[in-house]
Amino acid sequence: MFIRGYFKRANAQDLPQERFMNITKNLGMLVLAIYLILVGIVALFHVAIPVIVTGILALAAGILILIGR
């Protein structure tokens, strides 16, 4: 049984919200994100992207994350 007015919308006035999405300043995480998106596109749509490109992106992301950049 549904009672009208039982469920109320959450009041989001006091929550800090930003208008724009923040892009990470960590270069390694950015390269990793690009790699994951690229691999996902290849898997879903069978796009022919050379293996060397994904390998270089994975290697660069791993190195940059390890050195903390």
Give the tens place of pLDDT for each residue, 5-55: 665 666 566 666 666 666 677 899 999 999 999 999 999 998 888 999 999
Q: Is 10 within the bounds of a domain?
A: no
Q: Is 9 within the bounds of a domain?
A: no
pLDDT at 69: 72
pLDDT at 19: 65
* pLDDT tens digits, one per residue of 49-61: 899 999 999 999 9
* Residues near 67 by beta carbon (within 8 Å), at least 6 away in sequence: 28
pLDDT at 60: 93
Q: Is 33 within the bounds of a domain?
A: yes
Q: Is 50 within the bounds of a domain?
A: yes
Taken in order 4, 7, 11, 17, the sign of the CA dihedral is negative
Q: How far is it, in rounded angstroms, from Cα 11 to Cα 6?
A: 15
Q: Is 35 within the bounds of a domain?
A: yes
Domain tally for the chain?
1
